Structure 1
Amino acid sequence: MAKRHNDNLPISEILKEFVEANKLQSGLDKVDVREAWAKMMGNGVNNYTTDIKLDRDVLYVSLSSSVLREELSYGSQKIIDMLNESIGKTVVKKLVLR
């Protein structure tokens, strides 16, 4: 059980402690990566995106278009950098397009 504090804390601190105590950060990172992908890639790529999965530090993205997959593979490092910048921390180290 979490420690009880007698002093008043901001809600952000309380939520941060709750996330750390319940080991929820990896799940939140998965949600953040999906949102960042959708926002960053726009409707054109999102229409062909069938699945996004974050496993440890590898992002697996399934695409229904082989042409788009090949095109995105040329800029995979730039995509990784933009995703991490959008999230605010290094979550993705490798991008696998399927």
Structure 2
Amino acid sequence: MSDQHHQSDLKKALEAMLDHYKLRGKYTQARVRQLWPKLMGPAINKYTTEVKVYRKNLYVTLSSAALRQELSMGTERIRDLINEELGEEYLEKVVIR
């Protein structure tokens, strides 16, 4: 058997486990929180004080008012970037506070 076949089997098994134990939502929320610093970069992450996902909405708290204002204008783009990285349309809204 090839490595690709084993990876496919493992992926299916993990997805089945996430569904069986109803953990898919929590898993996706954790992935969203991990993606924030990767996609936004160190400059924005430096001013990020909290990243929270609640009911398919991403809430980001920033310590810089100027950065908060600037990112508030691009919330749809941020949502699309994260959803694209996830490979699914998970986030419905991004709220910058």
For structure 1, which segment, 80-89 or 10-19, has the greater mean C-alpha deviation from structure 2 after superposition?
10-19
Distance in 2, Cα, partners of 1:16 & 1:58 = 22
Structure 2 partner of 1:76: 75
Runs of 4+ with >6 A deviation: none
Secondary structure of the residue aligned to 2:59 is: strand
Instruction: Please give the residue correspondences for 1:40-59 in structure 2 after superposition, counting only pairs within 5 Å.
Output: 40-59=39-58
> Number of matched residues?
90
Q: What percentage of residue pairs aligned between the two structures are identical?
A: 39
Partner AA of 2:10 in structure 1? I
For structure 2, list consecutive stretches of 5 or more residues without a partner in the other structure.
Answer: 1-7
For structure 1, list consecutive stretches of 5 or more residues without a partner in the other structure.
Answer: 1-8
- Which structure has the highest helix share of the two? 2
Secondary structure of the residue aligned to 1:10 is: helix
Measured after TM superposition, the shift of residue 11 of structure 1 is 2.0
Measured after TM superposition, the shift of residue 18 of structure 1 is 0.9
Structure 1 partner of 2:23: 24
Distance in 2, Cα, partners of 1:77 & 1:12 = 30
Distance in 2, Cα, partners of 1:85 & 1:13 = 21
Measured after TM superposition, the shift of residue 60 of structure 1 is 0.4
Partner AA of 2:37 in structure 1? A
Larger of the two Rg values belongs to structure = 1
TM-score by length of 2: 0.87
TM-score by length of 1: 0.86
Secondary structure of the residue aligned to 1:59 is: strand
